[in-house]
Structure 1
């Protein structure tokens, strides 16, 4: 089985040369920035490009691809943000550039209008008093979820780039792959969950200002090819009602726990998560609020699979919420 980790250390100088060709203020013209990144992505180092193309075409047993040893801002890195969205005039960070170059090899960067003010690039950092379903929480477990499994335009990939790790290097991104979990499911559970729509709540950003609108979406835990299915799973939001459905989801949950692996992101890492075949989480860590707390950058990538694109879309587009039904 191929390793999910690609050592990018040998490509740092080549990658920095590509970064130098990108616009220096990406948010001033994000469409232009991402189009330039697409053109430059054709010149990525051959082995890195091959790894991205293979992952895009076939996925992997692990459900993720980790690019390690990429160039990163060091002395010039600003303090970890304390608010969102980022200023329009903020200069390009190297890890943001890595998300542009590698992400455009995969598909289209997409913003979600209701999330983070509709921005495409998200700063992910700890925030005091953050909602327990928010990526800004830190001292509690961010539970397992397939990102926006309840959204008709669910992203194909979640990409996380690390500019700064947590002080004690404790935080882990946990990934559970359905390709690993499927053999642990009995036939009855597979049949019960396959193509079965279950009630699902949605994250706070998509509730339209209603504190608790209930399960306004329907999600299939397993769907697609029965022998190699896609996964739609959220430990906090999936809300089965029938006893047999609750039992089947519990069996699926246990299987995903049993195959979960942890990735500790360090500066220079880009983690690409196959959002149609995995669920992911993040373990707790302790922030110090000293300007040097954990700082990730996140983008969502859509491709032409599973009805995500209808034609004419561009990298940098912002889409509106439509719940799965």
Structure 2
């Protein structure tokens, strides 16, 4: 486990006043940037989300998704400054916006994801998309949750010991979100609507400088296979002919990481690759640390810099369980064009 986490903490004063300052130097294994909204800023952001909900009806609406980058200019300027600084920070692990409005009459946590896209919880999906638009463009997956762009993370009865985010009693293994695909997100946005028992999200990073050079060399070569996790439908394909990929790329001072603890394999007849993957897994296990998201926290995990997971917990299935809204964000929408049926669609596959 890492010994400490560096947190760059910004706090709203007045909306017209720049908050925080230049990012502090990265000096440890954990790098979190947290911006705390004032009550006035939170009210303004939520009012914008509610007006979007009234105008567009659904956060999956193609018109809204196209307009979101323009509408996001009406978010508080302090939030936009903080998001822009985080967007340019290639060493951050996560950008957290705390203090968002959660109305006291929030509906009970649904029993399953397909019951979650309701009018009452709609404004939160809109707000998550508006924040996401400050970092890039939201996308969804046709093979996941019926192609919704804003998806839901909540425990489901019968999936307690599964390998997907609907699990509870089994730890959700660390992973790069959708590591199997070239269309994977650059950021994964999580909006905590309801927390229960301080259930930690786990984060970890790679440090190539502390690995042997021969290990890093192999990890940078296309000698590994990453299979889709079961949250995607069988249409994605999981056969042995999947293209081999590298697990590390980019500059050593800002490495790009791509791996899934449970679904990445190296050929048994390639002992170099097996040894390199084992070394990377050991480092990621050792660098793991915890972040607790409370109700009203929006967290954008940098899917290029870190892997993430979740500690196990006991679900109550009583309407009070942990509930997150989730969105995938890409900084270059054109990169996903091969997988989308049209330029206006935001759904891959």
Q: Please indicate, yes or no, whether the TM-score normalized by the shorter chain is above 0.5.
A: yes
**What is the aligned partner in structure 2 of residue 233 from structure 1?**
259
Q: What is the CA–CA distance in structure 1 between the aligned matches of 2:175 and 2:244, rounded to whole Å?
A: 15
Distance 1:78 1:206, change over 3 A: closer
Alignment equivalent of 1:280, drawn from 258, 283, 308: 308
Given candidates 147, 153, 169, the residue that maps to 1:118 is 147
Pair 253,67 (structure 1): closer, same or farther in 2 beyond 3 Å: same
**Cα distance, 1:227 vs structure 2:** 4.2
Count of paired positions:
313
**What is the DSSP-based 3-state SS (H/G/I as helix, E as strand, rest coil) of the residue aligned with 2:325?**
strand
Secondary structure at the aligned position of 1:85 is classed as helix
Instruction: Give 2:283's aligned residue.
Output: 255
CA offsets per residue over residues 200-233 of structure 1, 9 Å max, x none? 2221244626997457342311013344221111
Quote how far apart the aligned CAs of 1:147 are.
0.7
Aligned residue in 2 for 1:173:
201
User: Residues 110 and 318 of structure 1 are in contact (CA less than 8 Å); yes or no, is this contact kept in structure 2?
Assistant: yes
Structure 1 residue 191: Cα displacement: 1.2
- How do 1:198-237 and structure 2 match up within 5 A? 198-206=224-232, 208=234, 213-214=239-240, 216-237=242-263
- Alpha-carbon shift at residue 255 of structure 1 (Å): 1.8
Q: Which runs of 5+ in 1 are unaligned?
A: 321-325
Within 2, Cα distance between the matches of 1:309 and 1:212? 22
| Contact 2:209–2:252 (8 Å) recurs in 1 | no
Instruction: Check whether the contact 1:222–1:230 (CA below 8 A) recurs between aligned residues.
Output: yes
Q: Equivalences for 1:142-157 in 2 at 5 Å?
A: 142-157=172-187
Query: Structure 2: where are the runs of 5+ without partners?
Result: 1-5, 9-32
Q: Looking at both structures, which has the greater relative contact order when contacts are Cα pairs under 8 Å and sequence separation is at least 6?
A: 1
Q: What is the CA–CA distance in structure 1 between the aligned matches of 2:236 and 2:95, rounded to whole Å?
A: 37
Equivalent of residue 299 in structure 1, options 324, 327, 331: 327
